Amino acid sequence: MKGLIAKKVGMTQVFDENGNLTPVTVIRVEPNTVVATKTEEKCGYNAIVLGLEDLKANKASKPYAKQFPEDITPKRHLKEFRDFEGDVKVGDQIGVEMFEKIRFIDVTATSKGKGFQGVMKRWGFHGGRATHGSKFHREAGGTGCSTTPGHTLKNIKMPGHMGFERVTVQNLKVVKVDPELKVLMVRGAVPGNKDCTLIVKAAVKK
């Protein structure tokens, strides 16, 4: 299987057999339900559609609810995974156990929004001298050109909206898998706010 839909819980710490402390992010992986399967003959590619978190009947519109089989409750979160490995069918549930033999994962989520930020926070500019009288502290500096071309070029690093983007952090180390608690403990920077939805996949580059 390529991956699952999960939720970010928060951070904690674990100790190994030598007493070394490791800070980890706790990811809760509730069983994902296989909502649909796609085949090469019908759709041109192989894939499965996974769903997470039941949706109340009055919250699902008729067009949205029609894509679910009659015996499956409409799900709040849906994700399609192509080129999956393993033999599954509609109605099956896939849990955190699939990560027991995986050492590194890739996590995709929407990063935290930082609002409108200047160039020092957004791009890591050093800024000017902090001494009195310099009159240049946190500004971006000149962004224009001379007479030719006479305008600011594209892709210049400037102040603007920061964060709230779809990002993928690769090669996060799996420290512990707990099937009883349905959690995955990972070392590294997991993107997104607390309680946000994550896409957790086996690492592509190891």
For the stretch 118-135, what's the b/e string if a residue is b when 16 or more beta carbons lie within 10 angstroms of its beta carbon?
bbeebeeeeeeeeeeeee
Do residues 140 and 154 share a domain? yes
Q: Evaluate if residue 202 carries a pLDDT over 80.
A: yes
The pLDDT of 151-158, averaged and rounded, is: 90
**180 & 108 share domain:** yes
As a whole number, the mean pLDDT across the chain is: 91
What are the CA-CA distances from residue 16 to residues 33, 95, 178 (Å)?
33, 25, 15
Residue 159 has pLDDT above 90, yes or no: yes
State yes or no: pLDDT of 1 exceeds 80.
no
* CATH number of the domain where residue 9 is located: 2.40.30.10
pLDDT attached to residue 160:
96
Same domain, 45 and 23: yes
Q: Quote the pLDDT of residue 144.
A: 80
Cβ 144 vs Cβ 152: under 8 Å: yes
For the residues 146-170, what does the mean pLDDT come to?
91
Find tokens 């296989």 and name the residue: 34
Q: Is the pLDDT of residue 27 over 90?
A: yes
How many domains would you assign to the chain? 2
What does the block give as tokens for 138?
């946190």
The domain in which residue 105 lies consists of 3-116+166-202
Shared domain for 43 and 110, answered yes or no, is yes
- Binned at pLDDT 50, 70 and 90, residue 166 comes out as very high
Separation in Å, CA 137 to CA 56, 128, 152, 160: 53, 4, 22, 18
Q: Is residue 142 very low, low, confident or very high in pLDDT (cuts 50, 70, 90)? A: confident
Identify the CA nearest to 189 among candidates 92, 66, 120, 107. Answer: 107
Same domain, 26 and 43: yes
- pLDDT band, residue 91 (cuts 50/70/90): confident
Q: pTM, whole model, 2 decimals?
A: 0.84
Question: Looking at the structure, do residues 104 and 130 belong to the same domain, yes or no?
Answer: no
pLDDT single digits (tens) 32-90: 999 998 888 888 888 899 999 998 888 889 998 888 888 889 999 999 998 776 678 88
Same domain, 84 and 43: yes
Residue 168, both tokens: 């993928």
| 110 lies in the same domain as 122 | no
Tell me, yes or no, whether 55 and 149 share the same domain. no
For residues 83 and 173, membership in a common domain is answered with: yes
Contact 198, 107 (CB under 8 A): yes
Residues 20 and 39 in one domain: yes
Residue pLDDT, tens place only, 172-193: 999 999 999 999 999 999 999 9
Residue 110 sits in the same domain as residue 125: no
E strands of 143-205, at which residues?
Answer: 160-163, 166-178, 183-187, 197-202
